[in-house]
Structure 1
Amino acid sequence: MNLTVSGPGGSASEVKTDYITATGPSHPDLVIMQIATNGNELFAHEPNTINATVRNNGTAAAGPFTVRIDAEGAVYETLVPGLDPGAQLEVQATDTTLRTAGDLVTITATADPQLAVAESDETNNALSITKTVVNNGYKGKRWTDGDDLDTVATFEGRVGLAYSTGDSIYRAAGWTVATTNWTTSDLPLPGAATILHARLYQGYTYDQTPGGSPVWTLQFNGQEVTPVATYTDRKGYGSYNNPSGLLVYNVTGLFEETGNTLTVTPGAGNNNGLYGSLLVVVYDDESEPVRKIAINEECDMLYAGAARFASDEEATAYAPFGGAVTSGLEEASVLSILFSANEAGKSAFIFKGQDYGDFSSGYLAGPQVTLKEFDVTDEVTSGENTAQFRSVAVGASGDNMVAAGAIFVTEYTEAPPVAAFSASPTTGTTPLQVQFTDQSTGTVSEWAWESRPERGVWAQFSTAPNPSYTFADAATYDIRLTVRGPGGESIEEKAAYISVLPPGGLRADFSANPTSGVAPLSVGFTDQSTGTVTLRTWDFNNDGRWDSISRNPTYRYWNPGVYTVRLGVSGPEGSDGMTKQNYITVTTPPKPPVARFTQDTRFGPAPLTVRFTDLSTGSPESYLWTFGDGQSSTDPSPVHTYQAPGLYRLTLRVENEGGSSTASGFVYVIRNIRPY
């Protein structure tokens, strides 16, 4: 302020600075200070928590207002009853939108979007951040767009399973050469066993190798081998985001029953921890019961706990097994294969919803590999059965483990054999020598052949599989074959099957071809009667009416069923008849098959060996694989090697009497470029 006064004596002034203070009305000022998401991440395929911090930087209290959180169009609003000057609070919203890894999401938080509060500054009410959606690798791969532990190979028959980690150990980062030996005591096999498949599993952890995958050379019994399958998983976000993985090698052709040696040599820059090595052998041997073995593989990191934003249900890997049959099922088990599953009570094996407890008792401290078998006989159902590997949070966390494989073994009661036989000739004059042929199915260890003349008693004439026997007396004989095997016994009896005639005389006999098939079935009949025949009467369905008087007629059976056939003959020497009970079997045509298959790899360097596994349904009778390189195969599940680089389209055609079906796939073979 400046005051100037004047008078007769002159004038004077006084200036006072900052003398008068004028204040306006007080106002609040709402500001969004920060936006935070769960673990500073947005996770794929699940709801995400978003927190926004709002502060009143003004000089007056703010009345009721809302905070709006907008996550890429998903809007959530929270009412705040008021906020004093200098105070702040955190508002939380759960974004229920399920997103995919790689999505960019802009999140904007706005204080008082309805302008309910008069503020000193309305331009600073909003804050935005942009986040990239990530997978949470501590969850099972069903939550991260990955694969289950899927079936890669199946074996059926009198097969057995052997597995061992030998003398392998875990080796921390910086390991040099890793050598593992397997002795005959590690993998005990029957002396006459045939090796069907030998599969080597080599796991690793916390890989920091430049390029993102291990660099090593693997030799099995002195021969370098390359993986037939590679699996990997990683945390997917934040710190310590380094992958674990599993490399699988087919060493069938190199396996030695007297002992085996593995050498893994790291290359330049290799930087990872190396788990112990696991060798799995499937063999065939007549001493084994009938089994089906399905091998499933993947690499799925699991680690439950709130700090990792993974619930028990989410930290679960799945291993589905298809095609189970419960008829005759004796035992069923699952061999679980994991890395680092060692904490008691912090994991669970679940089969068909039944919890079988944790994996810790199967943990091998040396190789840090976990191998545990679970008896699941009581839970198996026909069709698909699914096993679950789960990390279970107790306190702050569950077991930090990696699910790598599951082997489902079903064992069946030996089915009894089914007796069947034929003979030639079935009619003739004395002495009549007849050759009998066993046509039984199943496993047979004993045979008993018996004959019985009309109004006679049974008498055994041989215990050989395919005997020859001479009938000296003229008569009509019933024949009975009893076969026995591990599953029990079976009997087939043919009434009036062998007709032995005295020299000369009239005797009816006939044969047919075919005697079984699908409707409509055309059957040719051949008269084999002896003597002078002037009249023949054929009854093809045992209804008492003549169907033909031809010597060698053909008859078509239109409807499914089992038919009895009779031939009557007459001539100067009299008459005779031959009836063959249940002689013709006509079945319903089967449904056409549906072609399906899997392959253990689709991509790799030349030469590339691919194992194909038939999964066709509908009982195919024939297979035709065309591999796209000019080669083909009629095996149900062939192994084929592509020699040259290229993109190959392959097809599987399956066929039965009901029709055919085709499935296709591809293999991409690249040029084998070796590093300098």
Structure 2
Amino acid sequence: MEVFRVNKIYNKMRISAILVLTLVLFAGLVTTASAVQPTSDLTPTNINPPSSILVDMPNTIDATVNNTGTKDAAAFNVTLAVNGTIVDTQSVSDLAADGNTTVSFTWTPAVAGDHLLTVTADPEYVIDESDETNNNISMEVTAYTSGYMGSSLTTYMHDVVRGDLFYTTGNSIYRGGLLSGETYTVEFNILDIPEGATVKTARLYSYWSYSYEEPGASMDVTFDGTLQTQDASYIDRKGYGSYDRPYGTYAYDVTIPGNGVYSATINNTGTDKFSIYAMGLLIIYEDNGNEVEYWIDEGADIISAKYVATPEQATTDAPFDGTVTLADVESARLITVVPSGDKGLNTLLFNSYTESGIWNTSNIAVEERDVTTHITSTGNLAQLRDNEDFLMPSGAFLVLQRYSTPPTVSSGVSLGANIIPAVSIEVTPDALNFGTLAPGQTSNEQTLGITNTGASNVAITAGVTDTAGNLYTSGLLLDSGIWSSYSATVDKAGSVNAGAALAVPGGYTGLGTKEGTLILWAEKV
């Protein structure tokens, strides 16, 4: 009995040992297989935005993606999200183990301010990775509104006067770096106020740039020795990055009794320097002349197409709101004032009118254009556009002169009748080109159709006017004969054909394109 029990225990021990050994071997095999299996690990490690991110412009955002795993990664996507919303997706065809790649995104912000950028590699989880928790990276950035984008001038005044207006910059010249305590003086020699006229408005402008003081240039302005009170201030600036200095226009209402020489002086009352483009003087006078309707738009809007996406973005609007009775307008002119308009790389648009290269002087460009044929009844708009120059549109004055005698207003009944002439013909075609010929040559004959569109039978004769040295008076043939001998009769509602050719005289010495006119006369018979 005891032997049996011993054998039984031994058998159990042997079976258990075999079983344990089998399990250990299996576990070892599994562990060895897992250790040698390669995997990828995609990790964005860097976001590189431009130094200044600008609103309403495409900005390039670069990101670096690394594969820190031991296996090459097949194709996968990388996304750029802004404040949690994906704005761009780029594809990477493959990425080797322990390699990296740079992915470029485009983002056009709509709103200025702080934004959170997030770059995510393999957002769809198409790559089997050893770590799926390190696939994104975030960075906070600030988007700025570029001061180089155009805005709108302000309508300071819209009125009607019996008189006129004019604008001058006197003897202004550009002055760079006016230091604290220094002065700048301009003389205005006013000669254009008519005798007996009264000055209704006189407005003095100071156009300055690149002030080292904030928020703008500090100055006292005197006019004819009297210290002036600033009436309006317009300031613009780049708004981001380096060289971000204010530019501006200051406006003052001054008193002018009539023609004469007037002086205006700027005194830098600040602690640092600024530059001056020029000073300008706008005068509106009354003299019981024709009625003039006018708009005075003023401001300071720096624009540069070099630093925005399109020239359309570097455009300053000058609106002239209100309704215009076109029948009352005898003439219209547009005056524009553009400091720094010195390169001609610009365009003026006024309703349907467009002209390029209009502002091209050294310090301040003042241009006047007749826009009579381009005035509309509503929504008149001037646009001052930069084309990779640098401009500060600061003034736009629209002046409409009305007729001295207002149009008569009447009412009546419309009458109508279709009366055909007793004698009338139509000739087709209305132009003949005889081609290229040499002296002594005759062109191919071309057909003229003559149709009687009048109420009577007519006799047809011919005439020629010639500005080509008698080429046509000597050589034009009708029905193979010289034109002066041509005649034909055409019945009412009837038609005839005439063959026209040009025989160039042998001694003809003219060269180039030559023109003349054939006149067909119809006489009642």
Q: Give me the TM-score of the superposition, normalised by structure 2.
A: 0.66
SS in 2 for 1:327: helix
1:280 pairs with one of 279, 282, 305: 282
SS in 2 for 1:173: strand
Deviation at 1:96, TM superposition (A): 5.5
Deviation at 1:27, TM superposition (A): 3.6
Corresponding residue number in structure 2 for 1:297: 298
Q: Residue 220 in 1 paired to residue 223 in 2?
A: yes
Corresponding residue number in structure 2 for 1:650: none
Corresponding residue number in structure 2 for 1:591: none
Cα RMSD between the aligned structures?
Answer: 2.4
SS in 2 for 1:136: coil
SS in 1 for 2:175: coil
Q: Give the Cα separation in 1 of the matches to 2:257 and 2:45.
A: 65
Q: Give the Cα separation in 2 of the matches to 1:87 and 1:250.
A: 69
Deviation at 1:358, TM superposition (A): 2.5
Corresponding residue number in structure 1 for 2:518: none
Q: Give the Cα separation in 2 of the matches to 1:309 and 1:46.
A: 7
1:383 pairs with one of 375, 378, 381: 378
CA distance 1:255–1:204, change in 2 (3 Å): farther
**Is this contact kept in 2: 1:303–1:310, CA < 8 A?**
no
Deviation at 1:417, TM superposition (A): 9.3
**Is this contact kept in 1: 2:72–2:95, CA < 8 A?**
yes
**Is this contact kept in 2: 1:44–1:98, CA < 8 A?**
yes
**Is this contact kept in 2: 1:356–1:374, CA < 8 A?**
no
Corresponding residue number in structure 1 for 2:240: 237
1:35 pairs with one of 47, 55, 61: 47
Map Cα deviations across residues 493-527 of structure 1 (whole Å, 9 max, x no partner).
xxxxxxxxxxxxxxxxxxxxxxxxxxxxxxxxxxx
Q: Give the Cα separation in 2 of the matches to 1:268 and 1:244.
A: 15
Q: Residue 312 in 1 paired to residue 322 in 2?
A: no
Q: Residue 404 in 1 paired to residue 394 in 2?
A: yes
Deviation at 1:360, TM superposition (A): 2.5
Map Cα deviations across residues 423-475 of structure 1 (whole Å, 9 max, x no partner).
xxxxxxxxxxxxxxxxxxxxxxxxxxxxxxxxxxxxxxxxxxxxxxxxxxxxx
Deviation at 1:232, TM superposition (A): 0.9
Corresponding residue number in structure 1 for 2:187: 181
Q: Map of 1:315-464 to 2, 5 A cutoff?
A: 315-323=314-322, 324-344=324-344, 346-361=345-360, 363=361, 365=362, 368-392=363-387, 398-415=388-405
Deviation at 1:123, TM superposition (A): 4.3
The residue type equivalent to 1:213 in the other structure is G
Deviation at 1:183, TM superposition (A): 1.6
**Is this contact kept in 2: 1:234–1:243, CA < 8 A?**
yes
The unaligned stretches of length 5 or more in structure 2 are 1-33, 410-525
The residue type equivalent to 1:405 in the other structure is G
Deviation at 1:80, TM superposition (A): 2.0
Deviation at 1:341, TM superposition (A): 0.9
Q: Give the Cα separation in 2 of the matches to 1:60 and 1:97.
A: 37
Q: Give the Cα separation in 2 of the matches to 1:87 and 1:376.
A: 65
Map Cα deviations across residues 26-48 of structure 1 (whole Å, 9 max, x no partner).
443323233234x4333334565
Q: Residue 64 in 1 paired to residue 75 in 2?
A: yes
Corresponding residue number in structure 1 for 2:454: none
Deviation at 1:320, TM superposition (A): 0.8
Query: Percent identity at matched positions?
Result: 31
The residue type equivalent to 1:177 in the other structure is T
CA distance 1:255–1:243, change in 2 (3 Å): farther
SS in 1 for 2:97: coil
More moved, 253-262 vs 271-280 = 253-262
Q: Give the Cα separation in 2 of the matches to 1:255 and 1:303.
A: 40
Corresponding residue number in structure 1 for 2:167: 163
Q: How many residues align?
A: 372
Structure in which a larger fraction of residues adopt helix: 2
Corresponding residue number in structure 2 for 1:113: 123
The residue type equivalent to 1:230 in the other structure is S
The residue type equivalent to 1:285 in the other structure is D
Deviation at 1:255, TM superposition (A): 5.5
Map Cα deviations across residues 337-369 of structure 1 (whole Å, 9 max, x no partner).
11101112x1000011431222234x2x3xx11
Q: Give the Cα separation in 2 of the matches to 1:33 and 1:93.
A: 15
CA distance 1:96–1:139, change in 2 (3 Å): closer
The residue type equivalent to 1:301 in the other structure is I
Map Cα deviations across residues 175-214 of structure 1 (whole Å, 9 max, x no partner).
4211111123xx42212221011111101111111x3221
Deviation at 1:133, TM superposition (A): 2.3
Deviation at 1:312, TM superposition (A): 0.6
CA distance 1:36–1:330, change in 2 (3 Å): farther
Q: Map of 1:64-213 to 2, 5 A cutoff?
A: 64-75=75-86, 76-95=88-107, 98-99=110-111, 101=112, 103-141=113-151, 148-175=152-179, 176-184=182-190, 187-209=191-213, 211-213=214-216
SS in 2 for 1:133: strand
The residue type equivalent to 2:357 in the other structure is D
**Is this contact kept in 1: 2:57–2:308, CA < 8 A?**
no
The residue type equivalent to 2:232 in the other structure is A
SS in 2 for 1:77: strand
SS in 1 for 2:294: strand
Corresponding residue number in structure 2 for 1:635: none
SS in 2 for 1:360: coil
Larger relative contact order (C-alpha < 8 A, sep ≥ 6)? 2
**Is this contact kept in 1: 2:58–2:309, CA < 8 A?**
no
Map Cα deviations across residues 620-674 of structure 1 (whole Å, 9 max, x no partner).
xxxxxxxxxxxxxxxxxxxxxxxxxxxxxxxxxxxxxxxxxxxxxxxxxxxxxxx
The residue type equivalent to 1:135 in the other structure is T
SS in 1 for 2:373: helix
CA distance 1:128–1:258, change in 2 (3 Å): same
Q: Give the Cα separation in 2 of the matches to 1:246 and 1:120.
A: 63
SS in 2 for 1:160: strand
Q: Give the Cα separation in 1 of the matches to 2:293 and 2:272.
A: 39
The residue type equivalent to 2:117 in the other structure is I
**Is this contact kept in 2: 1:74–1:97, CA < 8 A?**
no
Deviation at 1:154, TM superposition (A): 2.5
Map Cα deviations across residues 62-82 of structure 1 (whole Å, 9 max, x no partner).
112221211013214333221
Map Cα deviations across residues 384-440 of structure 1 (whole Å, 9 max, x no partner).
200100012xxxxx1111111100011122125989xxxxxxxxxxxxxxxxxxxxx
Q: Give the Cα separation in 2 of the matches to 1:88 and 1:378.
A: 63
Map Cα deviations across residues 286-305 of structure 1 (whole Å, 9 max, x no partner).
3x432111100121111002
Q: Give the Cα separation in 1 of the matches to 2:79 and 2:232.
A: 49
The residue type equivalent to 1:140 in the other structure is G
